[in-house]
Structures are given as structure tokens and as C-alpha cells.
Amino acid sequence: MKRREFFKIIALVPATGALLSVPRLADAAMSGDTAEAGTASAPAAQSGGSAGGPVPDFAEHMLTTDMNGLGPDGKPTGQVATFTGASKAGATAKSASVKMKLTADEQAILDGKEGPEKAKLMQIMVRFGETFGATKMVDLGGAPHSNLFIGAPYMESIIDMLNECADAGLKSYATYTVNPRPYDVYNVQNNPKEMELIYQGYPLQMKLDYVHSRLGAPDLNYRSCACYTDDVGNKPEPGTYVAWCESSAVNYGNSVLGIRTNRYGAGMEMICALLGKAPLFGLMTDEGRQAKWLIDVKTTKEPDWGTLGTAIGRKCVEDIPYVAGIDKYFKDGEVTNDNWHKLKYMGSATASSGAVGLYHVEGVTPEPKEKGRKLLAEGYQTYVYDDKEQQRIIDTFENLWPDKDGDPTACFIGCPHCNYEESVRWARMIVDALDKAGQEKTKIPVYIFMPTVVRTRILMEQPELAGKAKAAGVSYTNMCAVVYSGMKGFSERVRGVTNSAKNRAYSSIRYFPDQKLIDIMLTGKV
């Protein structure tokens, strides 16, 4: 399966839900004997915390994708992601011999003393952790982030599982955020055929949104892949153990916020949220955050951030990079609301072109500020990224439009979502460019993706600019750019352009730097 087939990242979700829903979660948590009314029988368990039996395949696959390593030329390298921060052959953490040591409270949950639903969740958690070599669990803080956001038909089993947990009175240990919805019928104009595709593709969306509200998610205004923006507000303190799902959010959270989370597969993060715990392994450990690559950036001017991220992802796969030479593009080494998009676009590209869950930026991100190059692991490799290398990467970006010689039909800005400052900046850039060119409207529709709370803030604080942008052909939308642009039936007709290397990696949309996108908007030509 090719990486650009977006739905690869959620193909395993139904299997996750099926573990708990077929048979019913409560029944599956029982032993073979009939339990007395109101009493939960303990699942089979070995002493020392093991859930018993062989390590099941599902535990391994909860973190897996088809992420195989690609070199800078776009060709396979033979590296396979293990999601433990070590992609080299033989570095997998899987070990059937590992037995997790549980606390008395954790063992009590496993034994069914807090109900059969939590017992089953704990059983899965233990087997999952042991698969990846974890010897204990840690308590979670901050707030979780979930990637269960698509109400497609195959989501029925996991929705049933989540409702079963809600029926039992379970909730996330903290209010949590969720990825944006896959469509926006209010702010994006779709023809009848497109509306049909939307409702055929996502008939369970309302059910999924409802169960999230039952388990502790806030209202739809806060749905975003960039949950860490100020307006959404999911920004745990550095060093906090959390369970996040969504490759770009995990990537940004680990790197820029300094939190500690693995790249959870959709579903496992909710099990962690409902238990308030996670197995300790991989990117949550000190050793798992050591960098195996020094990325030496030597471009003569500010690098193209999406291209740089693509190069790092292809080179490192999931190994942790230590990036040097870009601190000069962050005043005083600080990440602010005005420059954060640079790391957002770089990081999301490392996570989509590879499987990077953490990167360090010398002089900028928290851990290098404290430890410097002590974060480099023994035997680290060096990758020089200069002007020549940047152009070489750009030359590998394919034109995947069905009509390769056709004109663009839409422009997509904000994958991951824009914050307030980035959204305002883009609106002003477009309006000013039109004024300078003597044009009233862009030649193609422009979609700027942002959380609803950001859209509302712009309408309240920048009404004149928002009005000009709308009149110019700009739509503010809260949906997922990748899902919308890659939706079956859409991608065959939409010739999209974007400034997001992540969006490019998962769809047929073509990638261009910001100024080139402005030119395309005004001319309707590539």
C-alpha cells in the first residue's frame, strides 16, 4: 500500500474495536465461569502482572503502519518502523519474555475489582506494553489527544466499544481533544454529488462525535489536529506523560512542548485515557529520546521547511534527529505564535514522510536547550542538508494529478491546522496580493484550515479582514485537509496545491512554497 493512500493510517481501527466489542467487552473480560450478579470475575492472569497467554498480534499492530524507510531519492531503504525510536534491523522491542510488574492498584483493575470493562482494558494494556518491552506503567497527566475522528462504516465496532465503556460510567482521566471532522458542509461549498460522497463515506460521524462527548471530549469548536495551539489549549507541561495519537501532534508535542508520548495507533490512546495509564517504553524514556542522526542544515538562506522535514523523515525513518543550523530562524531561540508554523510544517513532514515521533532542534526545543549535543547517541550518523540536497528532494516530488497538464482547481492551507496568527497572516497576504494585482478574487478557491475557535476569533477580532478574504474566494474551514482532499471521488477530480508536505505525502495534492502558492491563486496556473 502506498503512503499517499491516506486511509492506510486508520485501516486497523476496526480491529482494535473488535477486540472489545466482539464478544461484548464485559463478557470478554469474564472468566469461563458464570459470574454472580453484580460481581466481576477476574480474567486469567499470571502472577507478576502478566495477562497470560501468548502475546497477541493486535498489540503489535496498534502502533503499526506501512511506514518503511525511504531514502532522499524516494526509494526504499529496507528500514521498517518499530515505533520505539529505533528503526534499524534487529532493534525491535518486541519480547514475549518481558513481564510487566504491576502496582497493587493496577493488579486490582486487572483482577476485575473495578469492573469487567476496566479489567479488559487493563488486559489489553498489559499485553500491549509487554509486546514493546515495557516493564511497568506510568500515570498520565495533562490531557490526551485522539485520532478517532472519522465516522466511516468500518468504525462501527470501535464506536460500540467506546459506548460500552461510557455505559459502564468510564471517562477519560482528563478532558481530551480530538482530530477535526472529515468534512465541513457549512463553510465549504459542495455540489450534490460531493455531498452524496460525504454522507456515504461518513454515515457514523454523529455517533462517533456523541460518544466522544460522553467520554470527556469538549464540544466541536475545539476539534483540531493542532491541539497544542493556544486557542485549543492542549499544552501539557514539559516532561508530562501523555497518550497522544495523530502523527503531527505527537511529533510537535514531544519535540516543542517537551511532553512524553509514543505514537499511538487510533484506539490505543483511548484505552490509555480511560485507564489514566500507559506502558513505559520508547519515546517516553530517556534512552528512547536519544538522537541517532545529526542533521546539519547548511542552506544559504532559510530552508523550505516542508522539504527539510521530508528529507529528514526519509533519512531517519523513525530514528530521532538532532537538527542543527536552524536556530537563527527563531529569534532568541524562542518558538512563538508567529514562527511556530516553521516547526509545524517541518515536523509534520518528518512524521508523514517517515515515522519521526520526536526531533531535537539545537538552541530551540526544550531538551537541547538543557542538554545540547549530549542528546546524540553513541555512533550517531550525520546528514548534511544544503542547497543542492534541498533541490534534489524537491525534484523527487511527483505530479500525481490524473490530468498532469491540467490547471489547479483548489488551494489548501493548514495541514496541520493554522493558529490565529498564521490564519490572519495568510488572509492579509492574499488580500494584499489581490489589491496589488488589481484583482477582486482568486482564480481558484482557497481553503484555510483552522479550529472553529480560531475561526470565531478571527470573525470577532478581524471582521473587515475576514470579510475581504471571503469576498476574495477564501473559505475558513475546521475540517481535516488530508481527509477532504483524499476522499474517494474527490481526489480523482480535484487538482489541489498546498504548502503542506504532510498533505502532499498523503494525497495527490502538489506541494509549493508560500510565494508560489500566492502566484497560483492569482493566475490559476502552476
- Do residues 29 and 130 share a domain? yes
- Do residues 245 and 144 share a domain? yes
**pLDDT surpassing 70 at residue 94:** no
- Do residues 430 and 518 share a domain? yes
* Predicted local distance difference test score (pLDDT) of residue 136: 97
Decide if 64 is inside a domain. Answer: no
* Predicted local distance difference test score (pLDDT) of residue 91: 38
User: Of 365, 394, 423, which residue is a domain's last?
Assistant: 394
- Do residues 384 and 476 share a domain? no
- Do residues 448 and 427 share a domain? yes
User: Of 284, 310, 338, which residue is a domain's last?
Assistant: 284
* Predicted local distance difference test score (pLDDT) of residue 193: 85
**pLDDT surpassing 60 at residue 41:** no
- Do residues 114 and 133 share a domain? yes
Decide if 324 is inside a domain. Answer: yes
Q: Mean pLDDT, to the nearest integer, of 326-351? A: 97
pLDDT tens digits, residue range 436-475?
A: 999 999 999 999 999 999 999 999 999 999 999 999 999 9
Residue with the larger pLDDT of the pair 486 and 45:
486
Which pLDDT band, with edges at 50, 70 and 90, does 44 fall under? Answer: very low
Residue pointed to by grid coordinates 475576514: 466
- How many CA atoms lie within 13 Å of 218's alpha carbon, on the beta-carbon side? 20
**pLDDT surpassing 60 at residue 307:** yes
Straight-line distance from the first to the last Cα atom of the chain, in angstroms, rounded to the nearest whole number: 29
Residue with the larger pLDDT of the pair 85 and 454:
454
* Predicted local distance difference test score (pLDDT) of residue 389: 98
Which pLDDT band, with edges at 50, 70 and 90, does 369 fall under? Answer: very high
**pLDDT surpassing 50 at residue 50:** no
Pairing of the two strands 76-80 and 68-70: antiparallel
* Predicted local distance difference test score (pLDDT) of residue 265: 82
Q: Mean pLDDT, to the nearest integer, of 229-239? A: 97
* Predicted local distance difference test score (pLDDT) of residue 485: 86
Q: Is-contact 393 310, C-beta < 8 A?
A: yes
User: What's the count of helices (H) and strands (E) in the chain, helices before strands?
Assistant: 20, 15
* Predicted local distance difference test score (pLDDT) of residue 5: 39
- Do residues 327 and 268 share a domain? no
What residues make up the domain containing 111? 6-55+94-284
CA distances from 33 to 28, 45, 46, 168, 277 (A): 12, 15, 18, 21, 29
**pLDDT surpassing 60 at residue 390:** yes
Q: Mean pLDDT, to the nearest integer, of 213-233? A: 96
* Predicted local distance difference test score (pLDDT) of residue 97: 57
Number of domains comprising the chain: 3
Decide if 451 is inside a domain. Answer: yes
**pLDDT surpassing 50 at residue 37:** no
Bridge partners of 497, per DSSP, are 411, 510
- Do residues 224 and 137 share a domain? yes
Edge-to-edge order in the sheet of strand 376-385: 360-361, 321-324, 291-297, 376-385
* Predicted local distance difference test score (pLDDT) of residue 489: 76
Decide if 401 is inside a domain. Answer: no
Percent of the chain with pLDDT over 90: 73
pLDDT tens digits, residue range 113-128?
A: 999 999 999 999 999 9
Residue with the larger pLDDT of the pair 177 and 3:
177
Percent of the chain with pLDDT over 70: 81
- Do residues 37 and 106 share a domain? yes
Task: Say which CATH number the domain at 516 has.
Answer: 3.30.499.10
Lowest pLDDT segment from 43-47, 64-68, 233-237, 398-402: 43-47
**pLDDT surpassing 90 at residue 386:** yes
Decide if 176 is inside a domain. Answer: yes
User: Of 394, 421, 439, which residue is a domain's last?
Assistant: 394
410: nearest Cα among 343, 306, 342, 486: 486
Decide if 405 is inside a domain. Answer: no
pLDDT tens digits, residue range 249-305?
A: 999 999 999 999 999 987 999 999 999 999 999 999 999 999 999 999 999 999 999
Q: What is the mean pLDDT of the chain?
A: 85
Decide if 25 is inside a domain. Answer: yes
Distance (Å, whole) CA 194 – CA 8: 22
- Do residues 488 and 439 share a domain? yes
* Predicted local distance difference test score (pLDDT) of residue 93: 41
- Do residues 515 and 476 share a domain? yes
463-471 and 420-437 helices, crossing angle to 10°: 50
- Do residues 43 and 115 share a domain? yes
Q: Is-contact 249 155, C-beta < 8 A?
A: no
Decide if 363 is inside a domain. Answer: yes
